A and B are shown apart, each in its own frame.
Chain A
Amino acid sequence: MKSVKVYGPGCKRCETTEAMVKDAAARLGIDVVVEKVTDPKSIAMAGVMSTPGISVDGKLVHAGGLPDAVRLEGWLSA
């Protein structure tokens, strides 16, 4: 079970990112819990400056813009 966090104040791209994470996990057959972090303080505390950002098991892997689908699978299966 992997824990994935999507950081973003709730803009459209953040929602798209969340959907992409879920899709990628389903494709890979990995169990994930996706949590959306929308509170600006928590976003900043995670070290994310440009949203949407993604962390996998507490490790920040991406910030700023939609993730690349191939890379996303890489982060999830790592």
Chain B
Amino acid sequence: MTIEAQDAAPRHNPSDWLWYAGISAAAVVWWLVYSQLIPFSESVTSLLPVARDSHTGEAIAFFVYDVPKVLLLLTGIVFVTGVLRSWFSPEKTRAILAGKREILGYPLAAALGVLTPFCSCSSVPLFIGFVSAGIPLGVTFSFLIAGPMVGPVGLGLLYGLVGWQIATIYLVFGFTISTVAGLVLGRLGLERYLQDWVRELNAGPVGDMPEERLTLVGRLKIGVEQVREIVGKVWIWVLVGIGIGAAIHGYVPETVMLRIMGGEAWWSVPAAVVVGVPMYTNAAGVIPIVEALLGKGAALGTTLAFMMSVIALSLPEMIILKQVLTLRLIAIFIAVVSLGILATGFLFNALL
């Protein structure tokens, strides 16, 4: 006992305990505020000079309820994810994937794509790092598709706003599309469509960096840093997304929604993908829209297809990838992922 105590003592300086206390207090406050959202939004809406059951009243109530809810959920998810992801790094992921048989590589890459901290601004060095370490192109694609598509922010918000059933369906199908699309892209033998200089980099350099050991407080700091960075960046998308969701919730009649996005309208699935791919927002911005669409009776398959194409395929990321992939390869990549999304959409509209 005494030996353990002596060992442990120098590792905790007083400011560590401040960190633990601060994070615990923040969690309690978070929980208290989160549990008071409905009374809060109802009382705010009742202060305004509009009837609660009018179109405008419905839209305002949706907005006033969703803004604090989404921001709270986002903060919580980003913090927890930031802490958990501090155990993973692209370097470790590469080491894991480089030693695996190709067929195991696809699902593993999709899973690691979800867990590895990664921002689209470094997708080019990451892509090169993977390919030059001998990781097959298809496996690399599985990783790059899963990262944004099945991100924890999207899943967590889906869980909080729409429910666990749909969040689970999204997780299973997002994961499947990432795995299968990578497999298909791998089988197509696309190495010749890489930019020339990337192909010439075989068995490229591997950074021999000493692993940085982190304390628990160090990991908590990473979580807080992530919250500051990500919430600071996406809050505007959140407001825009909730604004659109509120407009749909308040003003779009259900009959119109059923005609446009109902299960009977087969063309709505491809239309959702065509509209969704060029749309650029992130999961936090699109899920309030999804919430409103589903609430108005939009078909699940169509809505899933819309959400997946918005989140997984984004124009800015394609422009970044243009540095390593030829246009032809980018087009094939978009086509394969879109086909997977279409299949998911049609499947769910047929089943439900």
Among A13, A43, A64, A66, max chain B CB count under 10 A is at A64
B171 at the interface (CB under 8 A from A): no
B89 at the interface (CB under 8 A from A): yes
Which residues from 131 to 167 on chain B have a C-beta closer than 8 Å to any C-beta of chain A? 132
- Interface digits, A1-13 against B, CB 8 Å rule (1 contact, 0 not)? 0000001110101
Are B212 and A71 in touch, CB under 8 angstroms?
yes
A17 at the interface (CB under 8 A from B): no
List of B residues within 8 angstroms of A63 by Cβ: 89-91, 207, 209
Are B208 and A47 in touch, CB under 8 angstroms?
yes
B225 at the interface (CB under 8 A from A): yes
A44 at the interface (CB under 8 A from B): yes
Are A47 and B121 in touch, CB under 8 angstroms?
no
Residue in A48, A49, A53 whose beta carbon sits within 8 Å of that of B94 in the complex: A49
Which residues from 196 to 253 on chain B have a C-beta closer than 8 Å to any C-beta of chain A? 197, 201, 204-210, 212, 218, 222, 225, 229
Q: How far, in Å, is B79 (CB) from chain A's closest CB?
A: 15
Interface size on A, residues (CB 8 A): 26
A61 at the interface (CB under 8 A from B): yes
Complex: chain B residue closest to A13, CB-CB: B229
Are A50 and B209 in touch, CB under 8 angstroms?
no
Are A46 and B124 in touch, CB under 8 angstroms?
no
Are B205 and A46 in touch, CB under 8 angstroms?
yes
List of B residues within 8 angstroms of A13 by Cβ: 229
Q: How far, in Å, is B176 (CB) from chain A's closest CB?
A: 26
Complex: chain A residue closest to B122, CB-CB: A51
Residue in B91, B205, B208 whose beta carbon sits within 8 Å of that of A45 in the complex: B205
B128 at the interface (CB under 8 A from A): yes
Residue in B121, B207, B210 whose beta carbon sits within 8 Å of that of A49 in the complex: B207
Counting contact residues on chain B (CB < 8 A from A), the size range is: 20 to 34
Are B119 and A11 in touch, CB under 8 angstroms?
yes
Q: How far, in Å, is B94 (CB) from chain A's closest CB?
A: 7
List of A residues within 8 angstroms of B204 by Cβ: 44-45, 47
List of A residues within 8 angstroms of B130 by Cβ: 49
Q: How far, in Å, is B314 (CB) from chain A's closest CB?
A: 16
**CA of A66 to CA of B224 in the docked complex: distance in angstroms?**
12
Complex: chain A residue closest to B195, CB-CB: A41
B125 at the interface (CB under 8 A from A): yes
Q: How far, in Å, is B281 (CB) from chain A's closest CB?
A: 19
Q: How far, in Å, is A18 (CB) from chain B's closest CB?
A: 15
List of A residues within 8 angstroms of B89 by Cβ: 50, 63-64
A60 at the interface (CB under 8 A from B): yes
Are A50 and B324 in touch, CB under 8 angstroms?
no
Complex: chain B residue closest to A12, CB-CB: B229
- Interface digits, B94-124 against A, CB 8 Å rule (1 contact, 0 not)? 1000000000000000000000011101101
Residue in B117, B122, B218 whose beta carbon sits within 8 Å of that of A9 in the complex: B122
**CA of A8 to CA of B125 in the docked complex: distance in angstroms?**
9
25 contacting pairs across A/B (C-beta < 8 A)? A9-B121, A9-B124, A40-B124, A40-B128, A43-B124, A43-B125, A44-B201, A45-B204, A46-B207, A47-B129, A47-B204, A47-B209, A49-B91, A50-B91, A50-B125, A50-B126, A53-B207, A60-B208, A61-B209, A61-B210, A62-B212, A63-B209, A64-B89, A65-B222, A68-B218
Listed in ascending order, the chain A residues whose CB lies under 8 Å from chain B are 7-9, 11, 13, 40-41, 43-51, 53, 60-66, 68, 71
Listed in ascending order, the chain B residues whose CB lies under 8 Å from chain A are 89-91, 94, 117-119, 121-122, 124-126, 128-130, 132, 197, 201, 204-210, 212, 218, 222, 225, 229, 323-324
Known pairs A45-B201, A50-B91 / 19 extra A-B pairs, C-beta < 8 Å? A7-B125, A13-B229, A41-B197, A43-B125, A44-B201, A45-B205, A47-B205, A48-B125, A49-B90, A49-B122, A49-B125, A51-B121, A60-B207, A62-B209, A62-B212, A63-B89, A64-B89, A64-B90, A68-B218
